[in-house]
Amino acid sequence: MHLVHSLFTSKSSLYSSNIMGLAVTIAAYLITGDVLFILAIAATIVFGGWRVKTVHDFAATRNAAATRRGYEKFDQAFFLSSLPFGLTIGLVSWRLISFPPAAEGHALAAAAAIGYAMGFVARNAGRPRLVIGQVIACLGMFAVGYEFNHEKFGQLYVAMLLGAMIANIYVAISLYKNIVSVYYATAETEFLAHYDKLTRLANRFTFQNQVTSAIEKDGDKPFAIMFVDLDKFKDINDTLGHSVGDAVIREMARRIQDCVGDMAQIARFGGDEFLIKLNQGDGNSIIAAAQRLLTTLSLPYSVGPNVVRTTASLGVSRYPDHGQTVEDLVKKADIALYEAKQDGGAASRIFDRQIENKVNEIRRLETAMRAGIENGEFTPYFQPIYSLKSREVVQFEALARWDNPAFANISPAVFIPIAENAGLIDEIGALILQRACAAAMNWPDDVGLAVNVSAKQFRRPAHLFSVVIKALRETGLSPKRLNVEVTESLLISDPTATRKMIDQFALLGVQFSLDDFGTGYSSLSYLKDFPFKKIKIDKSFTDTMATHPASASIIRAVSQIASDIHLDVIAEGVESAEQEILLASFGVKYCQGYYFSRPVPEAEATAFFHTPRRAQSA
């Protein structure tokens, strides 16, 4: 860019060019005494001055002109001033050649035309249009003068001049191509230092400078920082590819601009995360803008043949209430965004200290979990599933436990959702599965292993499939002994992909169970459309079946339907002999709960088979 600047705006070269042009026209008048050269002197002064003024104006507004549109505007003005200047020099040369033979006049004409043509090429290599016009004006008029003067060898001179004209034009175009390639490469590099390549919005560094400048300039004026991103964007990239993800990001940027562009500064922070400085700092304006953004960003995204459906989450901090620097404000908005996503997404949150404390604790857990994965702290505990007929263990369900002294009492109900939101569930799930399969190899061959798989894991089907294959291959466990438990929420979110995945596992011999049946939509079509082998009735029905006739009726009906379509029913949460007896009367064949055994570590699970396998109350 600096090279182009010097070619476009070299003041010293313009001064010398104007002075030499004026000198040529004065000399022409002195040699010939022709009054027309007085007009040429005036034209040289006017057009030369116009050129210099154009360059001065550009230099005075360099920042405003430092865009492609700014350069094009300057280039047009310079073209309009320089072309008549070159034409004036050409007319002077033509007029000198038209006079009776005079060595001084002809020499001056040749020097002026050829010298200026060469100078135009050198000085204006970045603008071939201007060079071509000036070269034709100078050398063309000079050639016409020779042709009409009928000098000896005049036509030969004309041919030579035309050759020089073509050569100069070729040189100008070649230089232009080289310079433009350098210019655009440099311009793109400078642009990317301040703006995002994908969305053409400001990047985080430019945004920080903008907000810092606003604070320094209007320190008493309140405003808001919004941190926004799409929920489950990683799933879009994983399932549809990064090209679709990029298209969604571009559309997301456009929608944000349409929503708040006239009252905000917008930047792409990275990935699917955007920062917004909302110039209005009052609560009502913030809430209204946040709602508009969430509504707009949650509309479907059409990308080629794909229709992407997702939601957005948003966190807000306010200046000066939540921070005095851009770093503090962005951090607080990020904390509020994190809280919105932890609460399920599709929501906005405004920062407060309570949220900060909660998020900091969650992040402390995340950090400890990452270390726990590296240190192998996650391990399976096993809860037996009994046959009510034989009262023997027929299967163990593997349940994740975190063996960390600092978090010894933390429930899986707490750390599993955090692991899912932090993207750690795949690694934890793989670790639990591997160890559970290895433990199952120490049990009798007719005892199965049940493992839970979350919807997050199912959204990466290829990865999940490879994890299961690896665990089975490395431990030697038969696929027929493995039972994968899924919830209704997974079937609702993407039934087609889920069915495809289940069918792939079924080819290996892996079985599937529908977990927590009755707590979601409980559509009986799931039992028809998916090749489940077992249904697990949720604990909430077991707890209330003795006191709520509806719960008892539901369990009885599900058991009858399952029997008719050859599915086994497992009742969860059995805690008493009375519940066991009642479930048996409803036709339930298998039970699981604290009445039989709490979840136990691997060694205790294996010990079940060193003693009689028959159930004893816990």
- Residue range 380-407, pLDDT digits in tens: 999 999 999 998 999 999 999 998 888 8
Give percent of the chain with pLDDT exceeding 70.
75
Distance separating alpha carbons of residues 221 and 319, to the nearest angstrom = 8
Q: Is the pLDDT of residue 580 over 60?
A: yes
Where is pLDDT greater, at 26 or 341? Answer: 341
Q: Is the pLDDT of residue 97 over 70?
A: no
DSSP sequence for 261-299: GGGEEEEEEETTEEEEEES--SHHHHHHHHHHHHHHHTS
The three-state secondary structure class of 230 is: strand
Give percent of the chain with pLDDT exceeding 90.
51
Please give the order of strands across the beta sheet that includes 273-278. Answer: 264-270, 273-278, 223-230, 312-319, 348-350
- Residue range 175-203, pLDDT digits in tens: 556 656 666 667 677 777 889 999 999 99
Q: Is the pLDDT of residue 439 over 90?
A: yes
Name the CATH superfamily, with its identifier, for domain 204-351. Answer: Reverse transcriptase/Diguanylate cyclase domain (3.30.70.270)
Tell me what pLDDT residue 612 has.
Answer: 57
Q: Is the pLDDT of residue 408 over 70?
A: yes
Residue 396 burial (CB count, 10 A): 29
The b-or-e profile of 130-140 (16+ CB within 10 A means b, else e) is bbbbbbbbbbb
Whole-model pTM above 0.85? no
Query: How does residue 9 score in pLDDT terms, banded at 50, 70 and 90?
Result: very low
Most confidently predicted of 47-51, 132-136, 137-141, 223-227: 223-227
Please say whether the dihedral angle defined by the alpha carbons of residues 121, 123, 125 and 128, taken in this order, is positive or negative: negative
Task: Judge contact between 82 and 130, C-beta under 8 A.
Answer: yes
Query: How does residue 521 score in pLDDT terms, banded at 50, 70 and 90?
Result: low
Q: Is the pLDDT of residue 474 over 70?
A: yes
For residues 26-35, give the mean pLDDT.
Answer: 76
For residues 252-269, give the mean pLDDT.
Answer: 92
Tell me what pLDDT residue 226 has.
Answer: 97
Tell me what pLDDT residue 206 has.
Answer: 94
Tell me what pLDDT residue 275 has.
Answer: 96
For residues 495-505, give the mean pLDDT.
Answer: 86
Tell me what pLDDT residue 2 has.
Answer: 42
Which of 380, 386, 383, 381 shows the shortest CA–CA distance to 571? Answer: 386
Tell me what pLDDT residue 252 has.
Answer: 96
* Per-chain mean pLDDT for the chain: 82
- Residue range 280-299, pLDDT digits in tens: 888 899 999 999 999 999 99
Name the CATH superfamily, with its identifier, for domain 369-607. Answer: EAL domain (3.20.20.450)
Query: How does residue 146 score in pLDDT terms, banded at 50, 70 and 90?
Result: low
- Residue range 46-72, pLDDT digits in tens: 887 887 787 777 666 654 444 555 566
- Residue range 317-365, pLDDT digits in tens: 999 999 999 999 999 999 999 999 988 899 999 999 999 998 899 999 9
Task: Judge contact between 569 and 534, C-beta under 8 A.
Answer: yes
Distance separating alpha carbons of residues 555 and 517, to the nearest angstrom = 10
DSSP state of 509: T
